[in-house]
């Protein structure tokens, strides 16, 4: 276990990627159709902003992760490639544009996420809720997952989003408790757990995600999973952290695929209904799996 270094202009780059992180990207007709649709509606996607390695696979399956409320975040997390700064005013027409995009291409599963908008009184919760409502109105057959901020711990904001009725309420822990200050300097570990606990009390199917390879120990990963199970979290994704640039936190370790499999087995033994764990897994990877779990009766649909 190693501590994260303080970022400087001379921070070393991550070590060489192992073979299991090298993938071949193939673009299908479905992929190009989704991309043209999203670009035509002037919608941002985390898939592109974060250069996700699974973008081609997910878009080809007719799923995507749309980022609303702009592409400028009020926070400066050490792992994230989204721009930090003063955001533009919210676009009141954005919820309808997102909904129209879903209706036009009949996406079967959509994840709606956002930048942090800490400067707003409700941290953007009302805008997220309106987007959910518009999408459900125009595309009722599309399953909706929301991946939301912690809303600075404002309980009423969690309630606002839950009352709009997404199928899955997700908020990522991102890392273990010890590394939170360096990885998510404006967030708090226990505040994120409380956010998930409150969503669960509103009857939501609850999901979270973490990255590994930042210097955490297996024991610390187990503690995160135990904490998530204790607050009622249903679903968890675990993936390898990848350094977006030299300005971001370096990779301390490339975790072996066998360790990811061990995390999956351990998490489900602790009470999590489903753990998607692997080097290339991201928080929205195979998100439509939730629908399958709901149909199977393992989870109650929202």
- Kind plus residue range of the DSSP H or E element containing 238: strand 235-240
* Residue 57 banded pLDDT, cuts 50, 70, 90: low
Check residue 66 and give its pLDDT.
86
Which three-class secondary structure state does DSSP give residue 197? Answer: helix
Whether domain 27-296 has CATH 3.40.50.970 = no
pLDDT digit string (tens) for 69-102?
Answer: 988 888 878 777 778 899 899 999 999 999 988 8
Q: Which tokens is 58 given?
A: 């997910």
Q: Is the pTM of this model over 0.75?
A: yes
Q: What is the DSSP string of 22-62?
A: -------HHHHHHHHHHHHTT-EEHHHHTT-TTHHHHHHTT
Q: Which tokens is 233 given?
A: 């979290």
């Amino acid at each position: 276990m190693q501590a994260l270094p303080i970022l400087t202009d001379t921070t070393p780059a991550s070590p060489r990627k192992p073979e299991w992180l090298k993938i071949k990207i193939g673009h299908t007709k479905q992929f190009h159709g989704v991309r043209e649709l999203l670009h035509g509606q002037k919608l941002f996607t985390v898939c592109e902003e974060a250069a996700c390695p699974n973008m081609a696979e997910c878009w080809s399956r007719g799923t995507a992760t749309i980022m609303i409320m702009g592409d400028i975040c009020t926070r400066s997390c050490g792992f994230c490639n989204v721009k930090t700064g003063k955001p533009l005013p919210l676009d009141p027409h954005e919820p309808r544009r997102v909904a129209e995009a879903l209706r036009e291409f009949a996406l079967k599963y959509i994840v709606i996420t956002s930048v942090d908008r800490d400067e707003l009184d409700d941290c953007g919760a009302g805008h997220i809720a309106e987007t959910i409502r518009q999408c459900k109105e125009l595309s009722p057959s599309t399953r909706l997952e929301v991946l939301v901020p912690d809303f600075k711990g404002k309980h009423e904001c969690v309630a606002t989003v839950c009352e709009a009725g997404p199928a899955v309420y997700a908020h990522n822990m991102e890392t273990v408790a010890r590394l939170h200050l360096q990885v998510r300097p404006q967030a708090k570990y226990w505040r994120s757990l409380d956010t998930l606990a409150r969503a669960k009390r509103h009857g939501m199917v609850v999901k979270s995600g973490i990255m590994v390879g930042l210097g955490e120990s297996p024991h610390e990963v187990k503690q995160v999973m135990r904490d998530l199970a204790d607050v009622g979290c249903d679903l968890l994704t675990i993936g390898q952290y990848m350094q977006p640039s030299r300005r971001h936190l370096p990779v301390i370790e490339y975790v072996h695929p066998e360790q990811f499999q061990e995390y999956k087995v351990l998490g489900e033994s602790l009470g999590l209904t489903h753990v998607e764990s692997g080097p290339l897994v991201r928080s929205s990877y195979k998100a439509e799996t939730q629908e399958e779990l709901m149909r199977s009766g393992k989870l109650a649909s929202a």
